[in-house]
Amino acid sequence: MQKFPLKKGLSSAQDLHDEIKEYIDVLMGHINPPIADGVDTLFEVSSTYLARAKEIEIKLLERERNTKIESGDELKKFRTGELRSFIELCKSAQNQGSRRITVALSELNLKEN
């Protein structure tokens, strides 16, 4: 269960590009995230975006398995290009968010002792 809603399903390559562009802008700090969850924000947002990216990837792979796809197909190029890079960005942001949580917990433990 995610803390905020995202789009679902597949659309055109351009629509998917526009969707992940917005998510990239959030992860890069160009626009505000959809939630403000303190130190957990980066982890929660990147985890949600990663889940959406993997959903898109799964649906595109199903499409490729069930349909003869040309090598120049826009959705296939999207999957092997932008989407793949976006998934790596989400994983990196998720790791950074996890480290921030660990540091915050360590600092809290030091204050308590």
Each of the 113 residues of the chain gets a pLDDT tens digit; together they read: 678 889 999 999 999 999 999 999 999 999 999 998 888 999 999 999 999 999 999 999 999 999 999 989 999 999 999 999 999 999 999 999 999 999 988 988 888 87
Q: Kind and range of the H or E element at 17? A: helix 13-27
**Domain span including residue 32:** 13-112
| DSSP result, 43-82 | HHHHHHHHHHHHHHHHHHHHHHHHS---TT-HHHHHIIII
Residue 73 within a domain: yes
Q: How far apart are CA 40 and CA 80, in angstroms?
A: 30
* 8 Å CB contact between 52 and 58: no
**Domain count within the chain:** 1
Residue 18 within a domain: yes
Structure confidence by residue, pLDDT tens digits, 36-66: 888 899 999 999 999 999 999 999 999 999 9
> What's residue 55's pLDDT?
97
Residue 107 within a domain: yes
Residue among 86, 85, 77, 100 at smallest CA distance from 48: 86
Residue 75 within a domain: yes
